[in-house]
């Protein structure tokens, strides 16, 4: 299961509520982009994962597009960055 943080809302791999799906996952990969709008959504997604203690990591997509605030946030919050894509 992967939740994707984007500027409008969270998406799940199936038509369902992301809060319900996270209960079924052993590990969640949050895919995000390095833009200011998405950073806010990533913070919301991280809070949603930490609430029940779900294991998760972050993949930063299109790392060359935005700034480095998402990377700094992950470092400050000790969030595992699983990968970056150009």
pLDDT at 7: 39
pLDDT at 20: 58
Which one-letter DSSP state was computed for residue 3? E
The domain in which residue 78 lies consists of: 2-84
Written as tens digits, the pLDDT of the chain (86 aa) is 444 554 344 444 444 455 555 566 778 888 888 888 889 999 998 998 887 778 889 998 887 777 888 889 999 999 987 777 77
Strands (E), 9-74: 10-11, 28-32, 56-60
pLDDT at 21: 56
pLDDT at 78: 92
Number of domains comprising the chain: 1
């Amino acid at each position: 299961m992967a939740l994707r943080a984007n500027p409008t809302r969270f998406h799940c791999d199936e038509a369902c509520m992301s809060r319900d799906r996270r209960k079924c996952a052993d590990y969640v990969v949050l895919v995000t982009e390095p833009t200011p709008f998405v950073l806010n959504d990533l913070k919301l997604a991280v809070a949603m994962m930490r609430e029940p203690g779900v294991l998760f990591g972050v993949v930063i997509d299109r790392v060359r597009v935005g700034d480095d605030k998402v990377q700094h946030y992950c470092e400050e919050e000790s969030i595992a960055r699983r990968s970056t894509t150009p």
